[in-house]
Structure formats: structure tokens, C-alpha cells
Structure 1
């Protein structure tokens, strides 16, 4: 029987610690850049491949579908077989799938390659922060996580520049092809990262649960994107079967017992509302700026930068404020401010100017988002026992991605944007005006849920952890449990511990 290795003993200031941090940041940056860049490239992909809007929706959703369904499983694999090993599996898989995306000759092949890319992301994403949590001394971890979050935010902010430059320069295919050299650098750096695993992890992986969850989400997404009801006849029964499987499984991918906490259930409902709104607006805004206002890809990417910069700058102070005054006010006021910013985006139409029309809306939106992202993550982790925080963070991250998945699928149907209307400036503008109101409504709904379900203050024993106040990511909450925070089967449940 193997003996547990000594606990991580690195410090941030050491050369070995810096190598681990750089490797983890580049790994998470690989996945984060993909999310930022692809939305900027969608109009060019549509024009080059001559595909309808539904293909562009699937270009985003195929990735989010496999990532959402498998991210919890990916964390458990890292615990069992080695976090560095599974992280490298994810990096390699992501790179190969990216190459397939870059050479895709048509819409269906691009969609299939994006689904494969999501599998790599599910292995890579939880493994990035797991390397930090398992490699550094306990007193160094908060500092390392803070650096990881801040540097990751810089990578997110740089995405629009890099993506716009690639799309306008060598072409949209290079937003995928560029992942290969990045992956090679990460693989070389990972040789300096110590291996770790959970030596007490046991039990079987819930592969059946992951498959049922993915198929259920796929059926629902297909019904929404194509506007046909028959996939619901498959998706809904599979969703019921998924819940039944998770209730009966001895080692479930999604332990339903975490939902016994009313606060955990409430904050995940808030997450669904708020991240659905974010997913919808970040899907349509780059298209509106390019096809509606005539921006090139680089200008469209840079135009939306104020929201990301405000999130990077203000999420830390917002998280600290929530620790002092409680989460209810930030989780109510933040979405309401963001809703105002979304309503202001109605002024973004053909003929609009950036500074008087686009910029103020994005600033107000960014201020609102900055108020709620870090407190939301901290409240989720505070809503369960410490030993369940790994599962809690993984479930919350998956909930955010599922919300975005469904928003990208449903929003065009709700606002009447279909087939090739996204290429017509007038038709796109009408639908965009409706879409921002729908997204603003989701923000208001999230604010109401938070006001009526989230307590003004949390019990002292449930106080949010300091490292969870930092958040530089727009696409999903960070995965931030500590090393002691394992799921019921010993897995980290998709958090940094796995």
C-alpha cells in the first residue's frame, strides 16, 4: 500500500514556487482565453463557413456542454491518478482538439471539435488551481491563489486584444491553432511541478451520471437552438434518470445532499440567473458591435474591455466588503446595477458612437458585476461544511456554465433572431434590443432571489474564506476549495483539491 507523500512545501518566493504558479496560470489562461476569443470570432466564422446562427450557437455550446458535464468528474480524476498527470492530459487533449478546430472545413466538424475541446477543458480547468493547492505550504496558499486569480484576470483582459488581432490578421482559425505552442510551453513547465494526489481517494467514478447529465443537457440545448420539441422527449427523461442515478449512486458525481442547505440551493439559483444574463450578453454583444456597428474584431474586443478591467480591479474589495457587511446587499445591489448597464446597452445601435453610447453602459455593467461575483462565490462556499467545499465550488462552477449554455441556446429564440439574421444590421439591432432587456430581467430576478433568500449576515463559523474574495474571471466562478475539502468519495469534486 502506497504511503502518502509529504504535504506541499513550496513558497511563492522560491524558484520552484514561481514555476508552479506560472504553469498553473498558463494552464487556466489557455481555457479562459478560448472563451474570450471565440465570441469575438463568431461573425467571421459564420461568414467564412456560411453557416446559420444555430451553428454559431453550437460552436459555443458544444464546448460548454462537455465542459459542464465533465468538470466534476475531471476533478476526481486528478485526485485519483495525480493532479499534474491529469492536468497534462487536459492540456494535451485541449491542444489536439484546438488543432481540429483550426482545420475544420465546415460547421459540423468545427462543432464536433469544440465538443472534444470541452473534454480537455474539463480535465484542465480544475487541475490548474489544484496544482497550487497541493504544491504550496498552507500559509502560502492564499497568496498563491490571489496571484493566480490576478494573473488569470490579466489573461482574460488580454483575450480581446489577441483574439481581435488574430481574427483581423491571419484569420479566425488561428484563435485555435495558437493553443498548440502554448500547450507545448505548459507541458515543458509542468516537468518542474511536483506530482500530488489524494491517497485516500477510493470508490468508482460516476461515469454513468456524467453521461446522463451530458445527454440531458444536449437534448434540452438541441430543442432550444433548433426550436423543435422532440429532443425534449429525450432530454427530460434523461434529466430525471440523472437525478435518480445521483440519488442512488454510492459515489455520485453530484451529491444531492449538498442541496439540503437552503443557502447553497438559493445561491446556486442566483448563480443560474446572473450567469445566464452574462452568457447571453457576452454572446450577442460582440456580434452587435461587428455586424451592427461595423467594428472590426480587434475594436469589438477592445471595446468591451472596461467590464473586465473593473472586475479585476474591484472584485477583491467587493469580496472584503461582503465579509464585513454580509452577502445580501452586494448580491442584491450588484445585479440591479448590472441590469441598469444592460438597459443602457439599448443605445448601442447602428450609428452609435463608442464614448457616449457603448462605454457608459459597459462601465455601469462592469461595476454591477464586480459587486456580486466574489461575494457569490464566497457565499456558496460558506453555505456548506468545510469538508464539502470542494463539491460546492465545483457544483457552483458547473451551474454557471450550464446557465450560459442554456442562455446561448434560448436567447435568440426568445428575441426572434434566427438563421442568417445575425448578418443583417437592422434585424440584429431589433433582436439585440430585446435581448438586453431579457438579460436585465434575469439580473433583476437574481437580485430578488438574493434579497429574499440570502441572510444579511452569515454565522461566524460560516464566514467566507479570504482567498475567495478574489475573482478575475467573467465566464464562471473560480474553483477555490482548500486541500482538506473533499467530496464524500475522497475526490475534490472539481475544486482545486481536485
Structure 2
């Protein structure tokens, strides 16, 4: 086997190990949703307390991603990944053994911490492993598939485990995955030394402001559906979060060793891609949440049937993101591919908004799933590549954490906005005399309209802000030569763009 083949095989194995860890974390986001009704009865949760099964995970996860990414840059990204996967696996064991509400909620908090530590550096590690454009694009495609399609796999797996075994197994299933990931990563994932804590002091006050601000913001967001956007709690928490995050930004601009180097935002692609990501998330989250509810609450699908209904989208997303997105990005440019993918997402969401109360899978769900699978398969690899295109190896962890924070916090904001308007529409329809199912479906339709509008605005933002970076033909032709050089060479990435 030639050195180039050996290097390629080594990096491919490392990529799959990292994505296996990411899959475990992503699965947890939706696998728990399917078991909530069973959890409520088993541990005697009230409706209000049941939300903490989700919130106890989301708050530390969303709050710690950026801090974890930066610390990973300093102490070594593989070390941070191993810490995160180990803690997540241990917390999953505690969740599965939980016999009380308090134990389950506490273990879910630990899961959120572990998920943030582990996932925050994965994309950065992939970027630094792959320097050649085509190989990097294909690797990002694999990561994007896992990060975006893992949710629908979680719906299917969660329903299967809950129905066949018990809710405990939605957590126990993480144990073999987590142990295998940690063992294999320690042996097979390359370790790039961090920048060092002595030369780059950790900004403790900045870390406290960032983590506190993000956690408070996430707490405010997850409480919106119950408290409302104009409530004293929501407005008060939002104000506190805004003060903390503003203070953090001001501090980063003034100190010698910032936790978040503001130079990262000089790149239009880094800044723009994280903003455009909100449009992609609005479209996909609307389908994952309201589409699943439509299938379950209106059409009467079981949890397993809901998972199977999403399977065509998952399969198409996987095929396009791993095999089709990179060749198209090379030919047309990642920005143009992203805009095309967003257009398909808008079409898929709008098509779903036409679903009636007496709809059918073949007519009202499957066509949308195909459009969304194709659109997401094109969008996610392009947007991930653009979001990381302006990061240096020294800042790849914080750039990765920033992307993940945009996904988690941005997704939570999008879902809260959609859920609020959907609930208001449902209430108005009920007061007007509509049946329960008709009112519920009308609320779903409003959520789909708003999600489609946000995704459409993201197309405009992509056209105005993002810079198209086509892969030169020469770079593609010399892929083998570059792979040979990568066998023992250090990895470098493009410098930050200074474009206004």
C-alpha cells in the first residue's frame, strides 16, 4: 500500500470514528422525544416538569459549545473530544438507571455538558485532517449527513427501543457506541497539540460571561412556549443574556488573549454562513417537529411509523451530502449549491403546508420528504464548508463551536418562534369553532409558512453576503499528490478573508 493510500485510509477511519461520536449525540436529541409520554407515566412527571428532560440537556449543551471549542484549541482537540465522549457515555448510563425525576434530570444535565465538550471540536478536527479541497468537501459531507439526518434516525430508533424494550434503552444504547468511540479515538484519531494554556491564558471572566449569557438565553428560549415572548420572565432573562454577551464581546476586543478572537468574524463566509444556517434550520426543524406531530397526532402514526415516514428523506440526504454535494460545489461553487438547496427546502416546506387533515403519506408527506432530503443534502455540506473556510488551524475549534452553537441556539430560537405562532393560530381556530384536528393542523400550516419565509430570506442573505469559492480544477487534478504530501505534513487552512 502506497503512503498516499495509507494516509487516506487512516484519515477515513478517523473521520468515521468522529462521526460515530457525533451520531450518538445527535441521536439523543430526538430519540428522547419519542419516549416522553412513557417517561411521564413511568416517573410520574407533571406536564411542566417533563419539559426539563429536554431543557436540562439543551441549556448546558447550547451554553458550553463555544467555550469548549476554544478550550479544545488550547489543550488539544482530541483530548477535549475524549473528555466529552467519556462524560456523555457515563451520563447516559446514569440516565438509563434513573428511578426518580431528580436523578434523570441531573444525569441529562451531565449529558448536555458531555455533548458540548465532545461535539464542539469534531468539525474542527475534520477540517484540520483534510487539506485537499475535494477530500475535505467529501469529509464535510459525511459529517453534515450525520449532523442533519441523525435526528430522523433517532425518531425511528427511539420508537423501536421504547416499544420493544423500555425507555431505559434509549439511553443504554449509547453505552456500546460511546465506549467504542473513546477506545477507537484514543488509538486511531490523530492528535494535534493545542496552543498551550501557559502561552494563551484562559479568559476566566470572559468564559463566565459567555457561558452564563448563552445558558440564560437558551433557558429563556425554551421557556417561551409556556411563558410567552412578552412575559416578564422572557424579557428579563433576555435582557440579562444580552448584557452578559455584549460585555463578553467588548472584553474580547480589549484583552490580549481573547477566548473568542473577533478576527474570525472578518471573514464574510464565517459570519454569513452562521447567519444563513438559521434559514436551513428553520426549514428542517419545522418538518422534524411539526411534520412528526402531523403524522402522529393527525394521521395517527405510531412512533415507529413516524420514523419510517422520515426514512426516504434520511436516505436521500445521506446519498446527496456524501456523494453529490462536493462534485456540484466544485462545478458551480458552494454558495450557488447552497442557494439551490435552500430553494428545494422552501419548496418542500411549502408543499407540506398543503397537507389536509385527511391527508395521505404518498400525496402529502413523501414528496416533501424527497425535496427536503435533496435540499438538505446540498445545503448542509456547503454551509459547513463555508462556515469553516475562514478559520486557521489555531482557531478551528472555536469556529467549530461557533457553528454548533448557531445550530443549537439558532434552532431553539427558530422552533420557539414557530411553536408560538402555531399555538396562537390553533387557539384562534378553536375559538372560531374549528375541530381539534383542524385547529391543530392550521397551526402547523402557519409554522410551515413562517419557516419557508425564513428559508427564503436565507437565500437572499446567501446571495448578498457569502463569497463563492470554487475549487480550482488544478486542485482537483492534483488530489493524489496532495494526499501523498499529507502523510506527515502539518495541516494549514486559508487565512481569514479581509473582504468587507
TM-score under structure 2 normalisation? 0.77
Compared CA separation, residues 206 and 56, structure 1 to 2 (3 A): farther
Structure 2 residue 200 is matched with structure 1 residue 203: yes
Partner of 1:234: 240
How far does residue 292 in structure 1 lie from its aligned partner after superposition?
2.7
Compared CA separation, residues 301 and 146, structure 1 to 2 (3 A): same
Question: How many matched pairs?
Answer: 461
Compared CA separation, residues 443 and 110, structure 1 to 2 (3 A): farther
**Structure 2 CA distance for aligned equivalents of residues 456 and 79 of structure 1:** 28
Structure that is richer in helix per residue? 2
Compared CA separation, residues 285 and 206, structure 1 to 2 (3 A): farther
Asked if the contact 2:63/2:213 (under 8 Å) is kept, the reply is no
How far does residue 194 in structure 1 lie from its aligned partner after superposition?
6.4
Q: What 5-or-longer segments of structure 1 have no aligned partner?
A: 1-7, 468-481, 489-498
**Structure 2 CA distance for aligned equivalents of residues 79 and 276 of structure 1:** 30
Partner of 2:373: 366
Compared CA separation, residues 59 and 345, structure 1 to 2 (3 A): farther
**Structure 2 CA distance for aligned equivalents of residues 53 and 418 of structure 1:** 22
How far does residue 369 in structure 1 lie from its aligned partner after superposition?
1.9
How far does residue 299 in structure 1 lie from its aligned partner after superposition?
1.0
Match of 1:484 among 457, 467, 492: 492
Partner of 1:180: 175
Match of 2:450 among 397, 417, 438: 438
Give the stretch that moved more between structures: 329-338 or 358-367: 329-338
Partner of 1:260: 266
Partner SS for 2:279? helix
How far does residue 396 in structure 1 lie from its aligned partner after superposition?
2.5
Asked if the contact 2:338/2:379 (under 8 Å) is kept, the reply is yes
Partner of 2:460: 448
**Structure 1 CA distance for aligned equivalents of residues 281 and 308 of structure 2:** 22
**Structure 2 CA distance for aligned equivalents of residues 168 and 286 of structure 1:** 17
Q: What 5-or-longer segments of structure 2 have no aligned partner?
A: 431-435, 480-489
TM-score under structure 1 normalisation? 0.77
**Structure 2 CA distance for aligned equivalents of residues 294 and 306 of structure 1:** 19
Asked if the contact 2:128/2:493 (under 8 Å) is kept, the reply is no
How far does residue 73 in structure 1 lie from its aligned partner after superposition?
3.0
Asked if the contact 2:333/2:471 (under 8 Å) is kept, the reply is no
Compared CA separation, residues 11 and 197, structure 1 to 2 (3 A): closer
Asked if the contact 2:128/2:393 (under 8 Å) is kept, the reply is no
**Structure 1 CA distance for aligned equivalents of residues 132 and 330 of structure 2:** 21
**Structure 2 CA distance for aligned equivalents of residues 194 and 52 of structure 1:** 44
Partner SS for 2:353? helix
Measured against aligned partners, the alpha-carbon deviations of 1:252-273 in whole angstroms (never above 9, x if no partner) come to 3322222223343222221123
Partner of 1:213: 210
CA RMSD of aligned residues (A): 4.2
How far does residue 140 in structure 1 lie from its aligned partner after superposition?
12
Asked if the contact 1:344/1:361 (under 8 Å) is kept, the reply is yes
Compared CA separation, residues 136 and 371, structure 1 to 2 (3 A): closer
